[in-house]
């Protein structure tokens, strides 16, 4: 079984500063993928960044980077130069490997509500 833990129900950050959102995971699958999604109050789940378990380098997408520490089973999201529009719920999710039977199912954490203050 797969499990995602997000221990920060809410986070506050000043505009233009960086913020780290925590995510730890547990899985027995030999390979897996880790994702971060952003969900504004409108409800749409917006894909931000992906990290494969065998990727050698940490993923980056613009202002988003994923701090992947495999031994610690953590996949923290770092947002640099926060903007007011970054205020939203952020979900960490994982997908197992085909051989594990998990296929394309995503398992989500409970989310972290990020508030960016002006």
Partner 1 sequence: DAGVTQSPTHLIKTRGQQVTLRCSPKSGHDTVSWYQQALGQGPQFIFQYYEEEERQRGNFPDRFSGHQFPNYSSELNVNALWLGDSALYLCASSLRAKNIQYFGAGTRLSVL
Structure tokens at 77: 């999201």
Residue 91 in contact with partner 1, rule: CB under 8 A: yes
CA distance 21 to 88: 12
With contacts defined by CB under 8 A, name the span among 12-20, 56-64, 71-79, 101-109 that binds partner 1.
101-109
Q: Give just the sign of the alpha carbon dihedral 110, 11, 37, 93.
A: negative
Cα pseudo-dihedral 112, 117, 88, 33, rounded to 10 = -60
What secondary structure letter does DSSP report for 43? Answer: -
Residue 95 in contact with partner 1, rule: CB under 8 A: yes
Residue 37 in contact with partner 1, rule: CB under 8 A: yes
Q: Taking the CA atoms of the chain, what radius of gyration do you get in angstroms?
A: 14
Min CB(103)–partner 1 separation in Å: 5
The residue (of 17 and 52) whose beta carbon lies closer to partner 1 is 52
What's the farthest any 2 CA atoms get from each other in the chain?
A: 47
With contacts defined by CB under 8 A, name the span among 17-25, 34-42, 61-69, 79-87 that binds partner 1.
34-42
Site residues (CB under 8 A) for partner 1?
4, 33, 35, 37, 42-47, 50, 52, 91, 93, 95, 103-111
């Amino acid at each position: 079984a797969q499990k995602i833990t997000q221990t920060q129900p809410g986070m506050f950050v000043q505009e233009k500063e960086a913020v780290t959102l925590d995510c730890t995971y547990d899985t027995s699958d030999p390979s897996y993928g880790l994702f971060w999604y952003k969900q504004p109050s409108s409800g749409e789940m917006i894909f931000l960044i992906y990290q494969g378990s065998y990727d050698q380098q940490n993923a980056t997408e613009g202002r988003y980077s994923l701090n992947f520490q495999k031994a610690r089973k953590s996949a923290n999201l770092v947002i640099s130069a926060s903007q007011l529009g970054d205020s939203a719920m952020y979900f960490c999710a994982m997908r197992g490997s085909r051989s594990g039977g998990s296929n394309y199912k995503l398992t989500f954490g409970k989310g972290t509500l990020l508030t960016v203050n002006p």
